[in-house]
Amino acid sequence: MPSKEKKAELFKKIHDAVVEFEEETTRDLCKEALEVGIDAYDAVMAGLTRGMDTVGGLYEKNEYFVPELLLCSDAMYAGLEVLRPHIKVKSGKVNGKIIIGVVEGDIHDIGKSLVKTMFEAASWDIFDLGKDVKLQNFVEELARTNADVVAMSALMTTSMLAMPKLIDMLKAQKPDVIIMVGGAPLSEEIAGQYGADGYAEDAVLAVKEAQRLLEASL
Ligand code: B1M
């Protein structure tokens, strides 16, 4: 096992590579992290995701603009591709079927992809609709798959406003479907106001909450 210092050093390097949009370096550092025995999930959270947090701060300070955000996102995704197959999540007593997507008007899909990765690692059946998904597409996918859970993501205070309408549409289609919402502008309180069954602050908690809600519904 790597020392605490070695881990911290590699996380910092991964963070910096994302911030400096060095796609190839991010990929290589993530491979190195796996080779030295670092947990893949820790590398995602302490390296890649922290990098994106810093990028967000630079954007807010007008030091980075949309082109830089796109390049940083590419670096983040390059690292995630390396780490994704190695992420382990404890499976619950039951694993369900889940539809996941980013609501219409919103193209931020990094968080959604992390959530999807965690559900994959927990052996759920996943139907990923992608980003900027028309509300009707969620409803049609629910009719097609009869999924247990629908998880919707939004990163903007504007796009999240579509969620209550979508929740009504989904509940009309399948009254007992479990609906979860997430994304930076959401909160437990807003989820309740929107009529969602669950909310999760991050990708790992999303799996735990979905497992809890599904077990409670059986
Ligand atoms: Co834009 N963007 N962006 N952006 N972007 C934000 C969101 C913003 C907050 C930046 C800012 O102004 N401070 C702001 C939104 C403001 C608002 O709320 N109104 C913003 C804006 C304004 C915009 C544009 C309008 C900019 C423009 O064009 N002028 C435009 C929007 C276009 C559109 O969507 N229609 C835009 C575009 C982009 C890029 C394409 C360049 C790029 C996205 C690339 C991509 O996703 N493929 C981008 C990025 C990278 C960001 C920031 C910097 C980072 C977002 C991110 O990936 N975070 C962001 C600023 C910030 O967040 N500080 C910003 C990392 C990710 C891991 O976190 O997505 O929160 P997050 O996911 C977490 C949790 O939230 C949770 O789990 C995840 C992992 O633990 N979670 C869920 C997420 N979904 C969940 C679903 C669940 C459960 C948990 O289901 C149950």
CA-wise closest residue to 98 among 124, 117, 131, 121:
124
- According to the CATH classification, is domain 97-217 in 3.40.50.280? yes
**Which residues have CB under 8 Å from 77's CB, separation 6+?**
110, 113
121 CA to middle of ligand 1, Å? 23
* Confidence category of residue 32, pLDDT binned at 50, 70, 90: very high
Q: How confident is the model at residue 119 (pLDDT cuts 50, 70, 90)?
A: very high
Pocket test for ligand 1, best of 21, 64, 72, 155 (most atoms within 8 A of CB): 155
Residue nearest to atom 75 of ligand 1 (CA): 183
Start and end residues for every CATH 1.10.1240.10 domain found in the chain? 4-86
Q: What is the pLDDT of residue 107?
A: 98
Calpha distance 22→42 (Å, rounded): 20
Tell me which architecture the domain covering 4-86 has in CATH.
Answer: Orthogonal Bundle (1.10)
Per-residue pLDDT for 91 more than 80? no
Task: Provide the pLDDT for residue 80.
Answer: 95
Q: What integer pLDDT is reported at residue 94 of this predicted model?
A: 77
Q: Where does CATH 3.40.50.280 sit in the chain?
A: 97-217
Q: In the structure, what pLDDT confidence band is assigned to residue 88 with cuts at 50, 70 and 90? A: confident
Mean pLDDT, the chain, rounded, equals 95
Residues 78, 105: contact at Cβ < 8 Å?
no
- 37 Cβ partners below 8 Å, 6+ apart? 1, 2
